[in-house]
Structure 1
Amino acid sequence: MLGIVAAVLFFISFLINAADISTNDVFSSTNVMLIGLALLALHVAGVGSGWNTRGRRR
């Protein structure tokens, strides 16, 4: 799930950069890209992948 959100943020960052849209400092293409990289790192680390149930095997 976090990987999909990161991909969407990368696409938004690309559109901001490619269209040369003037935004404020908070939503610049670099900041959106860095948020996407942070979400991608969390995805690779396994955060947000769901519950891990460890049942006993008999």
Structure 2
Amino acid sequence: MLAIAAAIVFGFALLLDLFNTDLGAPDLFNWHTLVLIGLLLTALYLAGIGSGPRAGTGSGRRFYGRRPGRG
């Protein structure tokens, strides 16, 4: 979820940079602030905070008895 939020923030920052606008609030919506927010969200995602892929929590298929395709 945090990775999706970071992608949205980075996309919004890119649009602001491409259109060269600050939406009337130069101190609040500048390019550097949005990039820092995106990097923060990406760092939190990579640190394991938020809902992301979890290893060892029962993900994947379980095979009871003989596994298929094992001759």
Class of the TM-score when normalised by the shorter of the 2 chains: 0.7 to 0.9
Higher RCO by CA contacts (8 Å cutoff, separation 6 or greater): 1
Normalising by structure 2, report the TM-score: 0.65
Q: By percentage of residues, which structure has more helix?
A: 1
Alignment partner of 1:29 out of 25, 31, 34: 31
> How many correspondences in the alignment?
52
Q: Give the gaps of 5 or more residues in structure 2.
A: 58-71
Q: What percent identity do the matched residue pairs reach?
A: 40
Shift of 1:20: 0.2
| Matching of residue 20 in structure 1 with residue 23 in structure 2 | no
Normalising by structure 1, report the TM-score: 0.79
RMSD across aligned positions (CA): 1.8
Shift of 1:49: 2.3
Shift of 1:30: 1.0
